[in-house]
A and B are shown apart, each in its own frame.
Chain A
């Protein structure tokens, strides 16, 4: 590369590193949030099905 390889390859390498890292961290964040949301929705579903107690204030 006419003596310029030490500048050209790091330029492409750093661009690739930044873009791949951003993509990976974004995907990891999505998976983590999605898993937490799924777990929360599963936890909430049994609470919705729980019957009301007799004689509670809700019956007034």
Chain B
């Protein structure tokens, strides 16, 4: 809790962001390159799906990130609502476009996988529909930030939407268990452990680590940008008030 309050200070947070960013970029680059080479060159083909199984190495990590980032956004929104930390509000705001991007990647790569395997680009089954709703939640969240002139009102409205939307996360995760879906059931994050072979699991994990490090890198960049914009707004307001008072 003390750590959270420490980094509510924008100056302290910016110092941390400048330290983290180059390391997370390096980890992202190494992990993604390693995952791509392993997944595209060395990983075996699936006996049923052939080379389309390689789409898993972008589709699955993107799906994991789409859910993970929404969770981060919801936690940051809760912190911003409860403790009025501007840094938390801006963390949520900065995360949203990244989460939306991964959701788009997941949906598009899923369609590219589905067409040769299922014979269709899209079905309205529970998994795909709930992922599409996640994309709409991200877009709605970003639109709310733009809808208000007052950043504090925008942050509050957007935070409420983010928190209400968290109900979608367990729906997405358990959709393949609760309903009959064309989308396959979980094969990595199951109670009995991963069901896929190590030769496919390891490049998948490398890509997952790379995507996570990429998220941290882009989040740091976007938060630095948002904090600069916030400071610009503050300075302009302060000096407009000073000029009016003369």
Task: Identify the A interface with B (CB < 8 A).
Answer: 1-2, 4-5, 7-8, 10-12, 14-15, 18-19, 22-23, 26-27, 29-30, 33-34, 36-37, 40-41, 44, 47
- Which one of B47-55, B85-93, B150-158, B189-197 is at the interface? B47-55
Task: Identify the B interface with A (CB < 8 A).
Answer: 36, 40, 45, 50-52, 54-55, 58-59, 62, 97-98, 101, 104-105, 108-109, 112-113, 115-116, 214, 217-218, 221-222, 224-225, 228-229, 231-232, 235-236, 239
Nearest-CB distance from A8 to chain B (Å)?
5
Task: Indicate whether A26 sits within 8 Å of B54 (C-beta atoms), given known contacts A4-B116, A11-B113, A37-B232.
Answer: no
Closest to A5 in B: B51
Q: Are B101's CB and A22's CB within 8 A?
A: yes
Total A-B residue contacts, Cβ distance less than 8 Å: 87
* Chief secondary structure at chain B's binding surface: helix
Task: Indicate whether A26 sits within 8 Å of B225 (C-beta atoms), given known contacts A8-B52, A15-B109, A36-B232.
Answer: yes
Nearest-CB distance from A47 to chain B (Å)?
7
Q: Are B236's CB and A14's CB within 8 A?
A: no
How many angstroms between the C-alpha atoms of A27 and B217 in the bound complex?
11
Give 30 pairs: A residue, B residue, CB < 8 Å, sorted on A.
A1-B50, A2-B45, A4-B52, A4-B116, A7-B113, A8-B52, A11-B55, A11-B58, A11-B108, A11-B109, A12-B55, A14-B105, A14-B108, A14-B109, A18-B105, A19-B101, A22-B98, A22-B101, A23-B217, A23-B221, A26-B225, A29-B225, A33-B228, A33-B232, A34-B224, A36-B232, A37-B232, A40-B235, A41-B235, A44-B235
Contact of A7 among B40, B115, B225 (CB under 8 A): B115
Q: Which residues of B contact A12 (CB under 8 A)?
A: 36, 40, 55, 58
